[in-house]
Structure 1
């Protein structure tokens, strides 16, 4: 791959990288990008994976962070994760969308509040990040890699999102929604700069388009190389 990386991460201390999500290969590429920026990449993984014999040991030893999928335990999981990050001075990659974007042109869609909750639990900075080009290697929903020489991967890390106005309001649903929207707004702005295009005025909401969180577009079923956006 040919890398184009802009922006910086802190040289020490805890941080959160919040990228957009267009391809299932994104985590590998974002992990490499964070490493190239001088920090060790870590991810939040479902707590049930930590109970799998062997896999759980690997996840714990590599510093991955368990997170509860149970809504009732979300706050506690966010607090525990934030405390671990702050105590050890680690960084973590959290995808605010929670899954591959459903937006037809691969723009970011509405986010979930996990990144905001973790950040506000221990005053950890959130670095909005845009990635573009992974979809040329593994298109959305595809299981077949597109082989080619020197595919360009563009990663732009922005300035930390200012969430100060939400301090002490982690248990407020409206505050978490607003904080998440700020994060998604900054991610979208960075991606506009990479693509040289304007994103839709409103973040895509799968529910408003008759989709579940894990639904697919009819035109994506059975395809392996669809790429609806411009290249980097």
Structure 2
């Protein structure tokens, strides 16, 4: 079962939309899928549906709701890609992390206060997954081709629960010097695991569209599935 629901903010003074996909049986844990700059589009909803089939209740919050609720864009359409890039400067990332924290609370209200909650974020969502790991009590976090992690390394000391990052070796948004800084800053972190994908570009694990690399996507997704199976058990 899947559909949109409403999640209250941490301040409980507003609410925002969230796509929820529920498993057919008892959920073993919760996963929050954190959107790219394209909103909660079909690809993000498919990721939720896939996690639900694997037994997790899955949430994809509409993090752009303060800009405009319900944004859905296609990265393979140049005009929509440009529109998405224009949204980055309008988006308040700190408030976005607080909205993700609100979803953590909602998931635990449904499953029990001791329930495990993980997150998997993509692009902007990968950055937000790292920020969520540093700023909340989320149980486990995964970031795919996260942007700007090199500028967040100062927060890495606050990471208390396991984090996995998938790094696209030919990511045109994360050049080699930034990837080098990420490795230098995180290779020795006891809670962080980094996986490199040489030759693959940003967006390689998208569910659909021209950016997907099938072999790379399957490898990264299997690593993520194994990671969540261990950390969210």
Q: How would you bin the TM-score normalised by the shorter chain?
A: 0.3 to 0.5
After TM superposition, the score normalised by the length of structure 1 is 0.36
Q: TM-score, normalised by structure 2?
A: 0.36
Greater share of strand residues, 1 or 2? 2
